[in-house]
C-alpha cells in the first residue's frame, strides 16, 4: 500500500499537471477571444454602414451581419463560461456564515426575481455552525443554481431557499416550482456542455459542482417532470481537503 507521503506527492503532481493544462486552456481561450472581438467590432461597423439603406439587398445583408454578431456573442459567452469552469480554482477558504452568504446572493438577485415573476421564500436558520467558504466562488455557484431555477419557471413561480444543520455540517436547499426533469436529463446535467436550453453553455451545474466539491461539500439533485426541482448543497464543518488545501 502506498505511504501517505507518496499519495500526497501524487496528488500534488496531479494538481500541478491540472494547473498547467488549465493555464494552457486559458491561453488558448484568450487567443480565440481576441480575434473574435475584432470580428464582432467590424460586424458592428458593417451593420452601421447598411443601417439606413432602403435597398432589399442591403436589408438582406444586414440580416446576415446580425446573425454573425449573434453567433459571436454566443461564442464569447461560451468562452467566458468555459474559462470559469476550467480554471484551477485556488479557493480562499475562510470561516463564514452560510446564511449571510445566501442572503447576499438573494438580495442581489431579488430585483431580477421580481421582473421574472419568481417569488423567493426563504427560511434561513440563524444559529448554524461556521463553515469554510470562498465567498466569491460560493456566491457565483449559488447564483448559477438560482438562475437555473428561474429559467425552469418561464412563467414565474416560487423559489424556496432554506438552510439547516446536518450531522457533520450545514446544508442549503433550493426548491423551484418549475418544469422539473426526466430521469435521462437528470443523469446528464453534471456533464460539461449538456444543456436543454437554446444558447445555454451547459457549464453552470458542472462549474457549481466543482466549486462545492472544492469546499469538501456535495451537490445533490432531486427532480421529476412537472414537479419542480430541489438542489441541495451540503457543506461539512470540517472539510477533508488534500494536503495543499485545494482539491480543484
Contact residues: ligand ATP, CB under 6 A: 81, 148-149, 152, 176, 178-181, 185, 189, 194-197, 200-206, 229
Distance CA 110, CA 116 (A): 10
For 194-221, give the DSSP string: ---STT--S-HHHHHHHHHHHTT-EEEE
Tell me the torsion sign for CA atoms 140, 165, 217, 189. Answer: negative
Tell me whether residue 114 or residue 199 sits nearer to ligand ATP (CB atom). Answer: 199
Among 148, 163, 177, 248, binds Mg ion (CB under 5 A): 148
Residues 6+ away with beta carbon under 8 Å from 90? 246
Write down the least CB distance from residue 150 to ligand ATP, Å.
9
Under rule CB under 5 A, residue 178 binds Mg ion:
no
> What b-and-e string marks burial along 103-128, b requiring 16 or more CB atoms within 10 Å of the CB?
eebbeebeeebeebebebeeebeeeb
3-state secondary structure of 30: helix
User: Considering CB under 5 A, how many residues would be counted as binding Mg ion?
Assistant: 2
How many Cβ atoms sit within 10 Å of the Cβ of residue 86?
21
Shortest Cβ 148–Mg ion spacing (Å): 4
Q: Which is nearer to Mg ion, 180 or 204 (CB)?
A: 204
Residue whose C-beta lies closest to ligand ATP: 204
In the complex, minimum distance from the CB of residue 26 to Mg ion, in angstroms, rounded to a whole number: 22
Per-residue binding string, Mg ion, 68-107, x by CB under 5 A, is ----------------------------------------
204 near Mg ion, judged by CB under 5 A: yes
Residues in the chain: 248
Q: Which residues form the interface with Mg ion (CB under 5 A)?
A: 148, 204
Amino acid at each position: 500500500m502506498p505511504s501517505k507521503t507518496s499519495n500526497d506527492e501524487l496528488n500534488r503532481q496531479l494538481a500541478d499537471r491540472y494547473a498547467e493544462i488549465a493555464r494552457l486552456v486559458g491561453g488558448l481561450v484568450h487567443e480565440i477571444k481576441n480575434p473574435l472581438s475584432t470580428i464582432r467590432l467590424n460586424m458592428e461597423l458593417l451593420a452601421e454602414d447598411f443601417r439606413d439603406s432602403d435597398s432589399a439587398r442591403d436589408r438582406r445583408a444586414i440580416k446576415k451581419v446580425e446573425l454573425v454578431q449573434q453567433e459571436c456573442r454566443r461564442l464569447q459567452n461560451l468562452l467566458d463560461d468555459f474559462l470559469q469552469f476550467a480554471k484551477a480554482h485556488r479557493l480562499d477558504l475562510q470561516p463564514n456564515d452560510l446564511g449571510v452568504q445566501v442572503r447576499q446572493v438573494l438580495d442581489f438577485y431579488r430585483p431580477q426575481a421580481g421582473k421574472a415573476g419568481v417569488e423567493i421564500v426563504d427560511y434561513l436558520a440563524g444559529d448554524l455552525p461556521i463553515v469554510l467558504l470562498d465567498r466569491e466562488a460560493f456566491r457565483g455557484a449559488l447564483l448559477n443554481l438560482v438562475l437555473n431555477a428561474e429559467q425552469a419557471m418561464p412563467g414565474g413561480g416560487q423559489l424556496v431557499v432554506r438552510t439547516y444543520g446536518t450531522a457533520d455540517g450545514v446544508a442549503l436547499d433550493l426548491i423551484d416550482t418549475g418544469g422539473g426533469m426526466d430521469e435521462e436529463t437528470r443523469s446528464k446535467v453534471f456533464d460539461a456542455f449538456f444543456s436543454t436550453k437554446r444558447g445555454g453553455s451547459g457549464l453552470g451545474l458542472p462549474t457549481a459542482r466543482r466549486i462545492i466539491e472544492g469546499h469538501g461539500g456535495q451537490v445533490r439533485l432531486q427532480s421529476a417532470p412537472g414537479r419542480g426541482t430541489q438542489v441541495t448543497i451540503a457543506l461539512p464543518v470540517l472539510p477533508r481537503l488534500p494536503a495543499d488545501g485545494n482539491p480543484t
